[in-house]
Amino acid sequence: MGEYVNERSNDMLQSKKQSVFLVGAKSLGNYGGYETFVDKLTEYHQNNTSIKYYVACKANGDGCIDEKKLTDIKRNSDNEFTYHNAICFKINIPNIGPAQAIYYDVAALKKSCEYIKKNKIKNPIVYIMACRIGPFAKHFYKKIHKLGGKVYLNPDGHEWMRAKWSAPIRKYWKISEKMMVKYSDIVICDSINIEKYIHQSYDGKCIKGRNPQTTYIAYGADMTMSKLADNDERLVKWYAEKGLSKKEYYLVVGRFVPENSFEIMIREFMKSNSKRDFAIITNVNDKFLNELERKLHFKSDKRIKFVGTVYDKELLKKIRENAYAYFHGHTVGGTNPSLIEALSSTDLNLLVDVGFNREVAKDCAMYWKREDGYLADLIDKADRLTQNEIEKYGDKAKKRVKEAYTWEHICALYEHVFLKETFNE
């Protein structure tokens, strides 16, 4: 890092700012959960005189940072820039396949430690997102503590349960999770259910028998309505291309993986009597898609429409707002970003009945079980709801998000947690 950063560090020490290093997001401003979180956290705190953020970003490879797409940045060097008043440093990684994610986190932590030591930063917090680097957790825990810092962890959801991973990789995820919880000072859970799970799994199994120290801070959502009108050219063109129209489609937005219940949602929609379409916004995986076609023959049902991805945030927001109803089939994870976004924009939401979703939506949605015929019946029931009944669901959902999941509220909670650390001089 350059001289500019050294100067900023000296200023920071003089003003006693709390330094927070964010490790684990690939980029800023992308659609991913951690990427959106870091973008919003730094945005809401950019004028906060008590906190200084340092953000690791992926310089190359899948999901890497492209600062040209960001506004109001100041380039400090080829590998560093300032955005939202946060110092962002880029990590180059070799092309080593799936191990890239582990390499990236390790390299980002190494860089953070070097920076802390070089600039003599006092009482830093290193906030690690996801449990990818368990075998290295003890090493960095000791190193960061030696530098006078603390390690905070966001464990994400149950990554070790995801069907996309082979059995050995799932076993690695579980072991890695245990080691990272063990070597953390605070575990910040974005779901009450995840927090309960951490204590049930690891109480009495951490350093010297101490229980994990945890706190709950959820994920946030943007409550603003789309800037697009119903006759906006972008929306009209998209509808025409996909064969859709306002309030005449059910919608799902999410990663195209088995644990998100795509097979069940498609199968049950095909069984339903709905005259509406089922629009699926996802990055299609051909192997999984072909597997579903062999099982379901969904191509014979013209209502089932894979419509690709939508990275235009205003357009996606408008598509959500205009959906008749939204499906949420995620079965693994904590507070899922796409669920909160749906609750804040789509009036009627049909959620798979798991603890994570009940915790978030409460009585603001309709719930379905993964049993044969259950969702099909619920779809038929949803189709018969009156406009007044649908609006009541929508009003309750928006109230729920406004009370618990706005970015303003979430960032205020993070400020409180980060500023618990004091300078002992």
Q: Give the pLDDT band (50/70/90) at residue 7.
A: very low
Residues 6+ apart with CB under 8 A from 29: 35, 36, 39, 69, 70
Percent of the chain with pLDDT over 90: 64
Does the pLDDT at position 11 exceed 60? no
Distances (CA, A) of 137 to 140, 144, 342: 5, 10, 35
Residue limits of CATH 3.40.50.2000 in the chain: 3-220+408-418, 233-405
Query: DSSP E strands: which ranges in 1-135?
Result: 18-23, 51-58, 74-77, 80-83, 86-91, 125-129
| Single-letter code of the amino acid located at 207 | I
pTM equals 0.80
Q: Specify whether the CB–CB gap between 39 and 28 falls below 8 A.
A: yes
Q: Specify whether the CB–CB gap between 50 and 84 falls below 8 A.
A: no
Kindly report the CATH number that applies to the domain delimited by 3-220+408-418: 3.40.50.2000
Give CA–CA dist 138/334, Å, rounded.
25
**Helix, strand or coil, per DSSP, at residue 209:** helix
Per the document, the length of the chain is: 425
Q: Give the pLDDT band (50/70/90) at residue 9.
A: very low
Give CA–CA dist 355/330, Å, rounded.
11
Residues 6+ apart with CB under 8 A from 217: 188, 189, 190, 410, 413, 414, 417
Does the pLDDT at position 116 exceed 60? yes
Asked if the 233-405 domain carries CATH number 3.40.50.2000, the reply is yes
- What pLDDT digit, counting tens, does each position of 25-41 carry? 888 866 567 888 999 99
Mean predicted confidence (pLDDT) in 344-371 = 94
Percent of the chain with pLDDT over 70: 90
Tokens encoding 151: 């390690």
Q: Give the pLDDT band (50/70/90) at residue 46.
A: very high
- What pLDDT digit, counting tens, does each position of 137-181 carry? 999 999 999 999 999 999 976 655 555 566 777 788 888 998 999
